[in-house]
């Protein structure tokens, strides 16, 4: 419901982060990722950011070398999801400082933690950057 | 240090994987790592456990199986330190799902953690529970979560709220317990809790109707007030996005207001002011503002009708449509599709912009615009829309079945566009035969109107002249379609039917077409095999009925067609499309005009080669165009008969393709009902049209009785003609019995009886006859095609001959009989000269 999955994929099609909110087997996931990524990478800048795939929609945006893809139900507000993607990027930027693809790759668990604070069970939970980053900064301080 | 020991740090492993150049190398590295991790698990290694799990998660993300790590997750969760628990829960959420039985083992740990003193750990547990709990776990842990809904810390409250959503979804019975706590959540100040509380209420409403009622009564004003606060709130750096405070909260509030207001007038009234305020005050130059406006428009469309608000909403949509940003336009098209059910007029105003969108370079926008155009079609705009739709068939790949079905219906309705349509499709097929739907529509049109393509019939002024298309070119097109590797079953089946139609319209290509069809005789696909065999037998053995079998399809009735689509689309099209055309074909509403006008009408109709004085002759089926198929000219008798039939207000007529006389409509009527209904992919009200036309024809003959001009001799109806033995050989005797239909001296009905004189039965019996040019012959199918031996039974077949030189020349006929005797093919030919003189 709401958000079905969140993917971060680079321009070569390699998945950098994958969070699914509904169960799919491993083969299904790979097939799904392959299909969607092919569709999104083939599109130009001018085309709109929403792609229809099977019975749900994909909202995507490219930041530098990374594509952020969010799969949502058909009745979800696409423009709001675009905002959410931007919020996610800004949050990671505030934490890592000038975030880039390598940061996400080498600190995968931190990226997951952040995402977890923001989305739960497919719904957006928290939209304030300070609230999201508070537990993560706490954890960094103690470890 | 061995880079692949289990002590590898996560980043070193990632570096190693990234250094791999090929997929095989990567697989090797991953396998080594997995082996090392498995060894470490077996040794129960404490120190590196969380590191191993992090590595496992990375490997899982790449797509390799990692189920051996599941127990590790459990051990990590059970440990005391926060980082270990953290990684353990993360691993739990990524590597497991609710169907695994391992999950049950976690329940106890979860319960302990939910009661932990450290609130972050409580938060962890709630998070994990919220993401993957199963129904049993939900039942067990529901009371804990309920208690946590009132925890002092807002972070915990918001997580508990989302967790409750999942519980309520898994176990709807528990919904009642959550209604009251959820209502309290709605009065919170903290945005996070507010958002999740609203989410919880939304889901409760979806799951339980009594919850919906409760919230509607108690909470609507509260929510409206909250929305007002958020809209009017001062600048808050925490939640500010692009100048708007917390747009996500805006949107959530609008969503729940939508659910509460749907179907309920009172609730809708309370919302009107705030909705108007949001719609007018929100800035739309940033994406966040547009997102809010979009949600607002959706809400306005769903709640109970309020004229002013609706107008506001449609205006906003109009603004969206002309925005340069593709995203906004896509969203606007989406909204318009829903708006069309509510207010179709307003959407029509934007038709021009929508047509622009059909040409857009973006596939998603094109698809949406096409669907919208299809919904917009009504009788006033079908002509320009048809032309546009054909031009934009290159978007056909993204289009659903309904659209190309409807396109075919629309094409068949616009009969003066037939020639143009088939030529445009032929051209499009030459340039690009990639799209499935284009191929299908092209194949269907070439099958139906192939003769128009070859003879360049019905050229419109706006058309570019096309290079002459020969018959074999047209067959080429269909052959390419059927042989394409990418063609699917429907396309191939349609191509087979088109080939049969062409084999009748282009007799010169008949052999080649037969070969193509025979190719599929052994196809593994049942549909194709069946069609191939049946069509082959039609072409070979039933040539006499083939032409009538594949006559042009009647005008497809759009209203019944869209009605048959189970009312999924508004039936905005009517059949009176035909009324706008000049040809009298298919005109249904002709009142009983006086006969003089009727004669004038026939002069107006395109009738090359027939003058006014021949009109009545044409009616009687005399002196028609030569026997070769030239459908352009055969329009003349068509229009003549159609006009008369209309006089009797028969309804949609069946334009007769073959050159049989007008009276011939009578007997084939009954024969053709079943075969045609079986052949056509798109069924049509054919049977009724046939029955009607046959009734019309018989009463037309009665009319003609009164109007038959005197030069035609009236034969005595009671005169008996002697029967003759037409042909006799050692194996076979054919006898002809004659009769004349009343009122027509030139036509003779012949009953042919075949008797088997040999001692073995004949099988596959086929009788063929040919007549000189001044005669017209029509052959009905035989009663059967096996002849039992030695006169034990006979086969009869009726023929109808029309003599245009009646009284001057007698009938002659050449016949050919083919049959199998003792599994040997036999052929007999002969000429019949002994017809009675005055036939």
Element (H, E) at B749: strand B747-756
- Say if A25 is an interface residue toward chain B (CB within 8 Å): no
Name the band, by pLDDT with cuts 50, 70 and 90, for residue A89.
Answer: very high
Nearest Cα of chain B lies from the Cα of A117 at a distance, in angstroms, of 8
Q: Residue B248 and residue A130: Cβ atoms within 8 Å? A: no
C-alpha closest to that of B686 among B554, B576, B574:
B554
User: What confidence score (pLDDT) does residue B247 get?
Assistant: 83
B169 burial (CB, 10 Å; 0-12 / 13-18 / 19+) is middle
User: What confidence score (pLDDT) does residue A69 get?
Assistant: 92
| Rounded CA separation B276/B415 (Å) | 50
Q: How far separated are the first and last CA of chain B, in Å rounded?
A: 113
- Say if A50 is an interface residue toward chain B (CB within 8 Å): yes
User: What domains does chain B contain, in order, with CATH numbers?
Assistant: 417-559 (no CATH), 720-832 (2.60.40.1230)
User: What confidence score (pLDDT) does residue A70 get?
Assistant: 92
Residues of A in contact with B192 (CB under 8 A): 125-128, 131
Q: Residue A109 and residue B238: Cβ atoms within 8 Å? A: no
Name the band, by pLDDT with cuts 50, 70 and 90, for residue A85.
Answer: very high
User: What confidence score (pLDDT) does residue B406 get?
Assistant: 67
Q: How far is CA A109 from CA B56, B69, B213, in A?
A: 11, 16, 43
| Rounded CA separation B399/B386 (Å) | 15
- Say if A139 is an interface residue toward chain B (CB within 8 Å): yes
C-alpha closest to that of B51 among B67, B32, B72:
B72
Question: What's the length of chain B?
Answer: 839
Tokens of residue B752, six digits: 């042919």
C-alpha closest to that of B128 among B157, B100, B155, B166:
B166
| Domain residue ranges in chain A | 3-142
| Rounded CA separation B410/B573 (Å) | 9
Q: Which of residues 92-111 of A touch B (CB under 8 A)?
A: 105-106, 108-109
**A108: nearest CB among B57, B120, B195:** B57
Q: Residue A123 and residue B199: Cβ atoms within 8 Å? A: yes
Q: Residue A82 and residue B86: Cβ atoms within 8 Å? A: no
Question: What's the length of chain A?
Answer: 143
Residues B374-405 as b/e (b if ≥16 CB within 10 A, e otherwise) read bbbbebeebeebbbebbebbebbebbeeebbb
C-alpha closest to that of A80 among B335, B322, B290, B329:
B290
Structural fold of domain A3-142: Beta-Lactamase (3.30.450)
User: ipTM for the complex?
Assistant: 0.73
Count Cα atoms within 13 angstroms, Cβ side, for A100: 3
**B330: nearest CB among A44, A48, A142:** A48
CA dihedral defined by B319, B324, B330, B336, rounded to 10 degrees?
20
Give the rounded distance of the alpha carbon of B150 from its chain centre: 53
A66-72 and A56-63 beta bridge pairing: antiparallel
**A121: nearest CB among B83, B165, B329:** B165
Q: Residue B362 and residue A125: Cβ atoms within 8 Å? A: no
Q: Residue A49 and residue B327: Cβ atoms within 8 Å? A: yes
User: What confidence score (pLDDT) does residue B415 get?
Assistant: 65
Q: Residue A80 and residue B365: Cβ atoms within 8 Å? A: no
| Rounded CA separation B190/B287 (Å) | 24
Would you say B170 and B135 are in contact if contact means Cβ atoms under 8 Å apart? Answer: yes
Q: Residue B99 and residue A23: Cβ atoms within 8 Å? A: yes
Sheet holding A50-53, edge to edge: A15-20, A3-10, A66-72, A56-63, A50-53
Q: Residue A108 and residue B58: Cβ atoms within 8 Å? A: yes
* Average pLDDT of the segment spanning A78-103: 89
Average pLDDT per 10 consecutive residues for chain B, totaling 839 residues: 54 81 86 85 76 82 80 81 82 73 79 83 82 80 85 84 84 83 82 84 84 83 84 76 80 86 80 84 81 86 77 82 82 81 73 75 76 73 70 56 67 70 76 72 80 70 65 78 74 82 79 82 82 84 74 62 44 32 32 36 37 37 36 36 38 36 36 38 36 38 40 43 79 82 76 80 80 81 74 77 76 83 81 76
Would you say B245 and B239 are in contact if contact means Cβ atoms under 8 Å apart? Answer: yes
């Amino acid at each position: 419901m709401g958000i079905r999955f969140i993917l971060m994929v680079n321009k070569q099609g390699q998945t950098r982060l994958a969070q699914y909110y509904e169960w799919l087997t491993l083969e299904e996931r790979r097939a799904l990722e392959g299909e969607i990524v092919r569709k999104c990478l083939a599109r130009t800048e001018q085309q709109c950011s929403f792609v229809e795939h099977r019975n749900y929609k994909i909202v995507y945006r490219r930041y530098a070398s990374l594509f952020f893809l969010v799969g949502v139900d058909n009745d979800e507000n696409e423009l709001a999801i675009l905002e959410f993607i931007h919020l996610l990027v800004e949050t990671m930027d505030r934490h890592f400082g000038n975030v880039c693809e390598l940061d996400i790759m080498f600190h995968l668990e931190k990226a997951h933690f952040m995402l977890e604070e923001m989305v739960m069970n497919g719904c957006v939970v928290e939209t304030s950057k300070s609230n999201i980053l508070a537990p993560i900064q706490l954890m960094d301080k103690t470890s | 240090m061995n880079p692949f020991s289990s002590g590898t740090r996560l980043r070193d492993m990632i570096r190693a994987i990234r250094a791999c150049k090929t997929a095989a190398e990567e697989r090797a590295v991953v396998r080594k790592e997995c082996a090392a991790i498995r060894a470490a698990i077996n040794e129960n290694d404490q120190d590196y456990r969380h590191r191993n799990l992090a590595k496992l998660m990375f490997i899982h993300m790449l797509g390799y199986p990692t189920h051996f790590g599941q127990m590790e997750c459990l051990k990590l969760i059970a440990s005391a330190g926060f980082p270990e628990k953290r990684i353990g829960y993360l691993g739990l959420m990524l590597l497991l799902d609710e169907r695994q039985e391992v999950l049950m083992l976690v329940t106890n740990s979860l319960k302990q953690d939910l009661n932990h003193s450290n609130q972050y750990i409580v938060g962890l547990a709630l998070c994990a529970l919220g993401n993957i709990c199963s129904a049993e776990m939900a039942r067990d842990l529901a009371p804990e979560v309920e208690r946590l809904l009132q925890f002092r810390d807002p972070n915990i409250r918001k997580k508990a709220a989302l967790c409750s959503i999942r519980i309520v979804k898994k176990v709807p019975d528990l919904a009642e317990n959550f209604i009251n706590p959820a209502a309290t959540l709605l009065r919170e100040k903290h945005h996070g809790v507010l958002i999740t509380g609203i989410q919880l209420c939304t889901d409760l409403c979806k799951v339980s109707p009594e919850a919906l009622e409760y919230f509607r009564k108690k909470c609507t004003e509260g929510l409206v007030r909250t929305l007002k606060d958020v809209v009017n709130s001062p600048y808050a750096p925490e939640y500010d996005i692009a100048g708007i405070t917390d747009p996500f909260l805006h949107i959530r509030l609008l969503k729940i207001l939508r659910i509460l207001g749907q179907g309920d007038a009172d609730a809708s009234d309370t919302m009107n002011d705030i909705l108007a305020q949001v719609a007018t005050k929100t800035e739309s130059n940033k994406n966040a503002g547009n997102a809010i406006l979009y949600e607002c428009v959706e809400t306005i469309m769903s709640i109970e009708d309020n004229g002013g608000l609706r107008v506001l909403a449609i205006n906003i949509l109009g603004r969206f449509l002309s925005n340069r940003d593709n995203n906004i336009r896509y969203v606007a098209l989406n909204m318009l599709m829903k708006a069309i059910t509510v207010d179709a007029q307003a959407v029509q105003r934007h038709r021009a912009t929508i047509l622009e969108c059909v040409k857009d370079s973006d596939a998603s926008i094109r698809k949406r615009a096409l669907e919208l155009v299809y919904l917009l079609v009504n009788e006033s705009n079908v002509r320009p829309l048809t032309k546009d739709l054909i031009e934009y068939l290159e978007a056909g790949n993204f289009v659903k079945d309904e659209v190309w079905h409807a396109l075919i219906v629309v094409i068949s309705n616009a009969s003066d566009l037939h020639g143009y349509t088939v030529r445009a499709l032929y051209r499009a097929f030459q340039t690009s035969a990639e799209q499935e739907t284009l191929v299908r529509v092209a194949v269907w049109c070439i099958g139906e109107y192939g003769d128009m393509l070859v003879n360049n019939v019905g050229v419109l002024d706006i058309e570019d002249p096309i290079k002459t298309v020969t018959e074999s070119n047209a067959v080429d097109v269909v052959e390419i379609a059927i042989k394409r590797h990418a063609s699917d079953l429907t396309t191939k089946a349609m191509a087979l039917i088109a080939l049969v139609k062409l084999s009748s319209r282009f007799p010169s290509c008949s052999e080649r077409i037969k070969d193509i069809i025979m190719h599929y005789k052994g196809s593994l696909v049942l549909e194709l095999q069946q069609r191939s065999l049946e069509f082959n037998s039609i072409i070979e053995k039933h040539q006499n009925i083939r032409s009538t079998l594949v006559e042009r399809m009647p005008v497809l009735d759009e209203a019944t067609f869209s009605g048959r689509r189970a009312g999924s689309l508004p039936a905005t099209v009517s059949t009176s499309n035909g009324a706008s055309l000049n040809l009298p074909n298919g005109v249904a509403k002709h009142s009983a005009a006086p006969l003089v006008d009727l004669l004038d009408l026939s002069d107006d109709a395109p009738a090359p080669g027939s003058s006014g004085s021949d009109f009545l002759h044409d009616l009687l089926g005399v002196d028609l165009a030569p026997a070769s198929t030239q459908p352009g000219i055969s329009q003349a008798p068509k229009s003549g008969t159609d006009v008369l039939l209309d006089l009797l207000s028969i309804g949609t007529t069946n334009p007769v393709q073959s050159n049989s006389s007008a009276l011939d409509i009578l007997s084939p009527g009954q024969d053709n009902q079943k075969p045609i209904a079986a052949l056509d992919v798109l069924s049509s009200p054919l049977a009724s049209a046939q029955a009607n036309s046959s009734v019309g024809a018989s009463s037309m003959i009665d009319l003609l009785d009164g109007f038959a001009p005197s030069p035609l001799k009236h034969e005595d109806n009671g005169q008996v003609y002697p029967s003759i033995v037409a042909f006799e050989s050692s194996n076979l005797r054919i006898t002809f019995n004659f009769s004349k239909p009343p009122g027509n001296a030139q036509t003779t009905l012949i009953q042919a009886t075949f008797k088997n004189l040999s001692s073995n039965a004949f099988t596959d019996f086929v009788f063929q006859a040919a007549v000189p040019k001044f005669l017209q012959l029509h052959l009905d199918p035989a009663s059967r095609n096996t002849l039992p031996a030695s006169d034990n039974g006979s086969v009869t077949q009726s023929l109808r001959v029309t003599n245009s030189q009646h009284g001057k020349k007698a009938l002659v006929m050449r016949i050919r009989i083919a049959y199998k005797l003792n599994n040997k093919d036999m052929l007999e030919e002969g000429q019949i000269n002994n017809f009675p003189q005055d036939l």
